[in-house]
Amino acid sequence: MERFEVVWDEARLAALRAAVRRYEAPPSPRDAGWRYGCDPDFLAAMCAYWVDGFDAQAAAADLNRFPQFKVRVEDIDIHAVHVVGEAEGRRPLILTHGWPGSVHEFWQAIEPLAFPSRHGGRPEDAFDLVVPSLPGFGFSGKPAYPIGARTTARLFDRLMREGFGYPRYLAQGGDWGSAVSAWLALEHAEAVRGIHLNYLLVQPDAEPAGAEELAWKAAFDDTQQRLGGYSHLQMTKPQSLAYAMTGNPVAQAAWIVERFHDWADLRTRRFDEVFSMDQLLTCVMIYVMNDAFTTAAWYYNGATAEGVRRMPAGTRVTVPTAFAAFSDPRSPTPPRSWVERGYALTRWTDQPRGGHFAAMEEPGLFVDDLRAWARALD
């Protein structure tokens, strides 16, 4: 285990800004907006801010706000934020991000979860937090070939038990983080006290039945058809995408930021009210500065190879499971009956606001739900 901090070299930052300035935008349909991909007007404004307004060194300093480490697990270096909360060892919790996210997704939630008394909470609700970067993402090492959530669960279980010395722990995740959490519960249940999901990626070993489940499946399939093109490409031919994206920071930014727009809850707030430009660019920088776009895209192919999206025949999660139902445009909320087929569901919360990036969009609701969930397990 080694201490780690984010260092962004000024020469490389200058080269990045020069590349952004040189970028020649493709033609766009008239009044395109977000209909065909990333809004060209938004992208142009973001690029202008990226080169003349965004303070990359301030972003790096913010990313160094919490203690971070690199831990060798098997054959890969796993980067993780590790914050010992005010309860000093009580309630270890691993928070796992997804794509196209990073550990930065949890930045607004970390301190309230670890030090609740500073944020209107009770000291006894504190967690010890481990927030790792997925393999191939962010500051973690890059695997030699695509791996998925099942392998990651094995690595993260060892990270928790052997790296940070937590023999028993809680797990939370959305997007790929929900899959990692589910596979921790499926294959490492002896170490997992409970899991909290705000997305259902690992599906029960069953077929939908009844009007509610069949209606959900139809809505799910429709969403996949409308919003899943990126996923099919990354599952099947991620290297074809890599050839186009490598060395092109603006293309990477457009690909990433489009997901933040399309998957956020924009029912009552504009996109720029949900995420600041600094938040979006910090996320993009974590990919660009670590050359992580390609190996993060591999994760989809690795998931297919490992069969992570469906539980093995005859199995289900027996670890106590909580589900926070946010209004996620990426995937309609599954019926409770469907979740119960695969998970030992002990808590269900219908959230009034927030989309796919729950911890970023609604950190207060996210924190409150985790506190209540863990309190019930004590």
191-215 pLDDT per residue, tens: 999 999 999 999 999 999 999 999 9
* pLDDT tens-digit map of 223-256: 999 999 999 999 999 999 999 999 999 999 999 9
CA 100/CA 310 separation, integer angstroms: 22
- At 123, the pLDDT band (50, 70, 90 cuts) reads very high
**In 3D, which of 291, 192, 194, 185 has the Cα closest to residue 245?**
291
pLDDT value for 87: 81
Q: Tell me: pLDDT of 140 over 80.
A: yes
Confidence label for 89 from pLDDT (cuts 50, 70 and 90): confident
Closest CA to 341 of 190, 186, 207, 194: 207
Which of 29, 34, 3, 8 lies closest to 285 in space, CA to CA? 8
What is the pLDDT at residue 306?
98
In percent, the amount of the chain with pLDDT more than 70 equals 100
Tally the C-alpha atoms within 13 A of residue 8's C-alpha that lie toward its C-beta.
24
| Share of residues in the chain with pLDDT > 90 (%) | 99
* Residue among 175, 121, 200, 187 at smallest CA distance from 151: 187
Give pTM, 2 decimals: 0.97
Per-residue pLDDT of 317-365, as tens digits, reads: 999 999 999 999 999 999 999 999 999 999 999 999 999 999 999 999 9
Pairing, β 76-83 against β 128-132: antiparallel
Q: Output the CATH code of domain 2-377.
A: 3.40.50.1820
Q: What is the pLDDT of residue 48?
A: 98
What lies within 8 Å, CB to CB, of 242 at 6+ separation is 293, 294, 297
* pLDDT in the model for residue 357: 98
First vs last Cα of the chain: how many Å apart?
A: 30
Average pLDDT, the chain: 97
Residue type, 105: E
Name the residue among 202, 142, 194, 204 with its Cα closest to residue 178. 202
Q: Tell me the per-residue pLDDT of 1-34, one tens digit each, with 9 for 90 and over.
A: 999 999 999 999 999 999 999 999 999 999 999 9
